[in-house]
Amino acid sequence: MRGELNNANEPGGPLFTVRAVGETLVLSLMRRCNVVSWAPLHGGFRSDVAHLLVHSVGDTEALRSRGSRLRQAVGRVGLKGTVVGMMTTG
Protein backbone atom coordinates (compact mmCIF):
# COMPACT_ATOMS: atom_id res chain seq x y z
CA MET A 1 0.00 0.00 0.00
CA ARG A 2 1.25 3.48 -0.81
CA GLY A 3 -0.61 6.71 -0.10
CA GLU A 4 -0.02 10.31 0.82
CA LEU A 5 -1.78 12.97 2.86
CA ASN A 6 -0.65 16.57 2.84
CA ASN A 7 -2.06 19.30 5.08
CA ALA A 8 -1.43 21.96 2.39
CA ASN A 9 -4.63 23.83 3.34
CA GLU A 10 -3.05 25.00 6.59
CA PRO A 11 -2.38 28.77 6.78
CA GLY A 12 1.25 29.48 5.92
CA GLY A 13 1.71 26.21 4.03
CA PRO A 14 1.99 22.58 5.09
CA LEU A 15 3.57 21.66 8.42
CA PHE A 16 4.12 18.01 7.49
CA THR A 17 3.36 15.30 4.96
CA VAL A 18 2.16 11.79 5.75
CA ARG A 19 2.76 8.76 3.56
CA ALA A 20 2.30 5.03 3.91
CA VAL A 21 4.94 2.75 2.43
CA GLY A 22 3.99 -0.89 2.90
CA GLU A 23 3.66 -1.48 6.63
CA THR A 24 5.33 1.83 7.52
CA LEU A 25 3.68 5.19 8.19
CA VAL A 26 6.00 8.19 7.77
CA LEU A 27 5.30 11.72 8.95
CA SER A 28 7.88 14.11 7.42
CA LEU A 29 8.15 17.53 9.03
CA MET A 30 8.62 20.58 6.81
CA ARG A 31 10.68 22.24 9.55
CA ARG A 32 12.78 20.22 11.93
CA CYS A 33 11.59 20.35 15.51
CA ASN A 34 12.07 19.01 19.04
CA VAL A 35 10.34 15.73 19.96
CA VAL A 36 9.76 13.94 23.26
CA SER A 37 8.98 10.23 22.79
CA TRP A 38 9.21 6.79 24.38
CA ALA A 39 10.06 5.31 20.95
CA PRO A 40 12.75 2.58 20.88
CA LEU A 41 14.58 4.30 17.99
CA HIS A 42 15.87 7.71 19.14
CA GLY A 43 13.32 8.00 21.93
CA GLY A 44 13.60 10.48 24.79
CA PHE A 45 14.17 14.16 24.01
CA ARG A 46 15.46 14.75 20.47
CA SER A 47 16.13 17.99 18.68
CA ASP A 48 16.33 18.63 14.94
CA VAL A 49 13.89 15.78 14.12
CA ALA A 50 12.96 15.47 10.43
CA HIS A 51 10.68 12.39 10.43
CA LEU A 52 8.41 10.33 12.70
CA LEU A 53 7.96 6.68 11.74
CA VAL A 54 5.49 3.99 12.87
CA HIS A 55 6.25 0.50 11.57
CA SER A 56 3.77 -2.35 11.92
CA VAL A 57 5.04 -5.92 12.47
CA GLY A 58 3.50 -9.28 13.29
CA ASP A 59 3.35 -10.55 16.89
CA THR A 60 6.28 -12.96 16.40
CA GLU A 61 8.45 -10.25 14.82
CA ALA A 62 7.92 -7.95 17.81
CA LEU A 63 10.15 -10.15 19.95
CA ARG A 64 13.21 -9.40 17.83
CA SER A 65 15.46 -6.39 18.30
CA ARG A 66 13.22 -3.35 17.95
CA GLY A 67 16.03 -0.91 17.23
CA SER A 68 17.52 -2.89 14.35
CA ARG A 69 14.07 -3.63 12.85
CA LEU A 70 13.25 0.07 12.90
CA ARG A 71 16.62 1.00 11.37
CA GLN A 72 15.89 -1.46 8.54
CA ALA A 73 12.47 0.17 7.98
CA VAL A 74 14.10 3.63 7.86
CA GLY A 75 16.58 2.33 5.27
CA ARG A 76 13.85 0.78 3.11
CA VAL A 77 11.89 4.04 3.08
CA GLY A 78 15.09 6.04 2.40
CA LEU A 79 14.73 8.71 5.07
CA LYS A 80 17.46 11.30 5.64
CA GLY A 81 17.90 13.26 8.86
CA THR A 82 16.93 12.41 12.43
CA VAL A 83 14.10 9.88 12.67
CA VAL A 84 12.07 8.99 15.77
CA GLY A 85 10.66 5.51 15.19
CA MET A 86 8.10 3.26 16.86
CA MET A 87 6.73 -0.24 16.17
CA THR A 88 3.23 -1.61 16.55
CA THR A 89 1.94 -5.14 16.28
CA GLY A 90 -1.00 -5.80 14.06
Q: How many residues does the chain have?
A: 90
Q: What is the pTM of this model?
A: 0.75
Q: What is the domain extent for residue 22?
A: 2-89
Report the pLDDT value the prediction gives residue 57, as an integer from 0 to 100.
84
Chain segment 22-76, per-residue pLDDT in tens:
999 999 999 999 988 887 777 789 899 999 999 998 876 656 677 788 888 999 9
Sheet holding 82-89, edge to edge: 2-6, 16-21, 24-37, 44-57, 82-89
Structural domain count of the chain: 1
Report the pLDDT value the prediction gives residue 70, as an integer from 0 to 100.
85
- The secondary structure of residue 41, as a DSSP letter, is B
